Amino acid sequence: MKSCTATTTATSNPFLSFFVRAWNSGSCDYSLDTSRFLRDYAVWEINAFLWISLITITCLLTNKLFQLFKLWTQARKIPGPPCPSFYGHFNTVSKQSLTELLSDSHGDYGSVVKLWLGPTQLLVSIKEPELIKEMLLKAKDKLPLTGKAFRLAFGRSTLFASSFVKVEKRRESLASELNGRLIERANVIPTKAVDCIMEKLHHIMGKGSIDCKMVSQHMAFTLLGAMLFGDTFLAWSKATIYEELLMRIAKDACFWASYSVTPFWERGFWRYQRICTKLKCLTQDLVQQCSKNYKLYHGMDPVSDNETANAGMEATVGSKSYSGIFLQDFFSLEELNCHLKAREEPCGNIMGMMFHGCLTTAGLISNMLVRLVTHPETQHKIYSEIIMAQKGSGEIDQPNVEKMPLLLATVYESARLMPAGPLLQRCSLKHDLRLKSGVIIPAGAILVVPVQLVQMDDSSWGNDAAKFNPYRFLSTTEKTSGSLNKDISVAGPVELLDQGQSSFVLNDPNKNPAFLPFGSGTRACVCQKFVIQGIARLFASLLERYEVCPMNNFLVICRASFNFCYNQSSSEVIIR
């Protein structure tokens, strides 16, 4: 009776039935039952997998649909022009400049407006300076497209990821390095960089003409490379190839990053990857050259105690030789090995800095040259300021730009009139953004600041906002009969006064929330002071020996034995 019960129980369960019949090997139906069991088991597994997949996909789609309805609901509360079609304002943007469209929208709907770039892509533009300041403090992330472009080109990086959490620590250490010791050591670089730049441009012009963009690009590339890598970069034979590869990557980076799925099937993508690989190899070669020079320098004069070491370091800073100590301190070879363990591309941060720095610095240098040509009186005053500052310091090869407020103000004004890009982009990837004005911006929306509109707004900069006026960043300190000094803001262009009676004082441009060429808030450019000081020193060394002047629609950088010029209208460069 018990055996019959066991047999019945076993046959009611297909798994137990299979094992019972397998034990009874004498059964003639064993092979048939085995195949039937395996078939039923396979069908059961496939059905379970299909049901799980269906439930999972349904949940994902339901969540996406819920997020989409939530986005539409929250966006209805933000003012903005109505959508002309299901695809939003995409067709309008393709026919009209986005800056012009935002200008019209802000004029009609206020300081915060929305645009739909598609049924699921919301763009929110903010023009009010105080709201901009608040938004840039709260929106800490960058667009995923930006991080993807850097990742495809240079590998994983802790400086250019979209999420602020991933880049926060590295940005803090980089800001400390760039705005601290490196600025002090970079005093001797611009003079050498000017000589290298002019020699290189003269060599290129022997083969043919080059345009204005290439001139500014080469100046920015040489300046940034020299300040980061020192004399090793100026003497590096592969610098020209490095610059060409960097610009080719800049041309195609956003295009390949715009693919939702990495286009492995495209031949052009693999050509692009080969270019990136070549750039990585050259960067590693440059780092190794800097490391060798650093070890060679310290091997020549070893020191044993801290005082002697500090004295040697000070001597290195003050001397004319600069061997890339920055890399030894911040991007050391030991740290590069750690990057491999952390799945971070070696030298990825260095390539990203060169890439981003060259593009932004080149635009500022180009605008600075044009402003000096169109305002020769400002250039003459800057030249006088340079001469006076050097007489006071007694250091001919090391321009002290802190004593050149008009030069620094000219750099700031050039950056104000022609920012690196027309839009400052941010986003909040995970959380909704609530502004003090009551506007709630949903997570994932593209947040933009129309920098050109904000930095040329009459309400923030006065009636002459569209005009070049570096004196808006200056004030004068006049000596009165007593011992007190009086600060007077300079509202318009003024003549240089007697140094014994008055002197210029540079105002902090960042106190004006409408000054945004370097961004603001948590993701502001950490290299702002580094770039401003570098460009100011470059032009101090340049204007000391050369004059930038117009000549028959040509911009000319000239001296007694050498004339260099480019056509302002056709952007053609000519050596005379």
The CATH number that applies at residue 249 is 1.10.630.10
The secondary structure of residue 509, as a DSSP letter, is G
The secondary structure of residue 192, as a DSSP letter, is H
Name the band, by pLDDT with cuts 50, 70 and 90, for residue 188: low
User: pLDDT for 380-422, tens place per residue?
Assistant: 999 888 888 877 665 555 667 888 899 999 999 999 998 887 8
Q: How many angstroms separate the CA atoms of 333 and 337, rounded?
A: 6
User: pLDDT for 516-545, tens place per residue?
Assistant: 888 888 888 888 888 888 888 888 888 888
Report the alpha-carbon angle 159-162-167, nearest 5.
Answer: 35
* Single-letter amino acid, residue 428: S
* Structural domains counted in the chain: 1
For residue 502, is pLDDT > 60? no
Q: What is each CA distance from 321 to 10, 187, 265, 295, 326, in whole angstroms? A: 89, 11, 49, 14, 13
> Is 104 within a domain?
no
Residue-averaged pLDDT of the chain: 75
Name the band, by pLDDT with cuts 50, 70 and 90, for residue 553: low
> Is 308 within a domain?
no
What is the rounded average pLDDT of the residues 7-22?
51
> Is 127 within a domain?
no
Alpha helix stretches (DSSP H) within 29-97: 30-75, 90-95
* pLDDT higher at 345 or 66: 66
> Is 332 within a domain?
no
For residue 505, is pLDDT > 80? yes
Query: Which positions ≥6 away from 111 have C-beta within 8 Å?
Result: 126, 127, 128, 131
> Is 554 within a domain?
yes
What is the rounded average pLDDT of the residues 51-70?
92
Q: How many angstroms separate the CA atoms of 100 and 92, rounded?
A: 11
Phi, psi dihedrals of residue 165, rounded to the nearest 5°: -60, -35
Q: What is the pLDDT of residue 125?
A: 92
Q: What is the pLDDT of residue 410?
A: 93
Ramachandran bin of 566, using left for φ above 0, alpha for ψ from -120 to 50, beta for the remaining angles = beta
For residue 307, is pLDDT > 80? no
> Is 238 within a domain?
yes
CA 231 from centre of chain: 25
State the residue range of the domain holding 518: 144-297+345-476+502-575
* pLDDT higher at 486 or 197: 197
CA 508 from centre of chain: 22
For residue 203, is pLDDT > 80? no
DSSP string, 541-557: HHHHH-EEEESSSEEEE
What is the rounded average pLDDT of the residues 355-364?
88
Question: Largest Cα–Cα distance of the chain, in whole Å?
Answer: 125
Least confident of 57-61, 419-423, 568-572: 568-572
Report the alpha-carbon angle 3-9-14, nearest 5.
Answer: 125
Least confident of 6-15, 77-86, 314-323: 314-323
- What would the two tokens of residue 61 be? 């789609």
For residue 199, is pLDDT > 90? no
For residue 556, is pLDDT > 80? no
* Cβ pair 407, 435 in contact under 8 A: no
- What would the two tokens of residue 265 be? 């099937």
For residue 296, is pLDDT > 70? no
* Cβ pair 562, 198 in contact under 8 A: yes
> Is 569 within a domain?
yes
Residue 188: exposed, middle, or buried by beta-carbon count in 10 A (0-12, 13-18, 19+)? buried
* Cβ pair 37, 29 in contact under 8 A: no
Sign of CA dihedral 368, 369, 375, 381: positive
Is 254 annotated to bind a ligand? Reply is no
What is the rounded average pLDDT of the residues 420-433?
84
User: pLDDT for 132-160, tens place per residue?
Assistant: 998 888 888 887 777 788 888 888 777 77
For residue 202, is pLDDT > 80? no
Q: What is each CA distance from 325 to 85, 355, 550, in whole angstroms? A: 57, 21, 40
> Is 313 within a domain?
no
Report the alpha-carbon angle 526-527-528, nearest 5.
Answer: 95
